[in-house]
Copies of this chain bind each other. A is one copy, B any other.
Amino acid sequence: MNADGSGKICSIRLALQTEQRLIVTDDVDGHLFYVAQGLVLLEARVGSDQRRVLDILFEGDAFPTCEARGLPEAVLVAARATELMRYRPAGIDRIGRLDPELGARMHRALGNRNARRTLHVATLGETSADARLADFLVEAGLALSEPAIGTPVRGFDLPLTREQIASYLALNPDTLSRVFTRFRQRGIIETNGRHIDIRDWGGLCQSSPMSKSLCDLAARATAQLPQAACRTEKFSQASHGI
């Protein structure tokens, strides 16, 4: 029905509970997911028996299932209660033809996430475990929190196990735990269960080689919405929500 340029966009809203999984391997038709709310991990099996967290989707991120092509047992895992939109056709080129505004929004979301993916590749190139965790905490802090008024402290819930974070950063969970301890001792962060308070944002950024890039990207992503609206579309209130 939706195979070619004709037809309408088929969208479904999916409410996922924590730890609920969505298999995205062999999604031959192809879907485009959009994280309206929540936090999602892309996990897959690599090698013989290992599972790895290959990507983290924050609110506002778009994910086309074609990016998981070739990955065995690729699943989206809700790290917390999550609301997903699922679109067909998968191609934003075709979505853009059917609904230009939606296409533009998805395109921006995809561009931002892919830019962040590039930075993540750079992070994985860091040899030091401290640098990688610092990069990740900057990324998570920018996506999940705003600085508290009057102080540079940023607090957020990071509903991931140490094992998942370590997997995302290509580190050993034990090593990651040690780095967390070091950061705590240096007064950079405080942790309480899976809540993290970044008490010294400046110090964290000094330990994070990619911090400047990540902050740049986050600033442009927030600035992008109204800018793009002014340039490419009639300014519309609707362009903020999904």
Contacts and interface: CB of A to CB of B under 8 A. Distances in A.
B121 A70 contact: no
A225 to B, nearest CB: 15
Interface centre among A44, A72, A232 (most CB of B within 10 A): A232
A96 B91 contact: yes
Copies per complex of this chain = 2
A115 B67 contact: yes
Contact of A97 (B71, B97, B111): B97
Nearest to A2: B232
B232 A122 contact: no
Interface string A193-235: 0000000000000000110111011001000000000011100
Contact of A231 (B3, B95, B103, B114): B3
A209 B231 CA distance: 46
Contacts of A66: 111-112, 114-115
Interface stretch (A33-41, A47-55, A148-156): A47-55
B210 A118 contact: no
Interface string A164-201: 00010010000000000000000000000000000000
Interface of A: 3-5, 42, 44, 46-48, 52, 54-55, 64, 66-72, 91-97, 100, 103-104, 106-107, 111-112, 114-115, 117-122, 124-127, 167, 170, 209-210, 212-214, 216-217, 220, 231-233
**Nearest 6 A/B pairs, CB to CB:** A93-B96, A93-B103, A70-B217, A47-B209, A66-B111, A70-B213
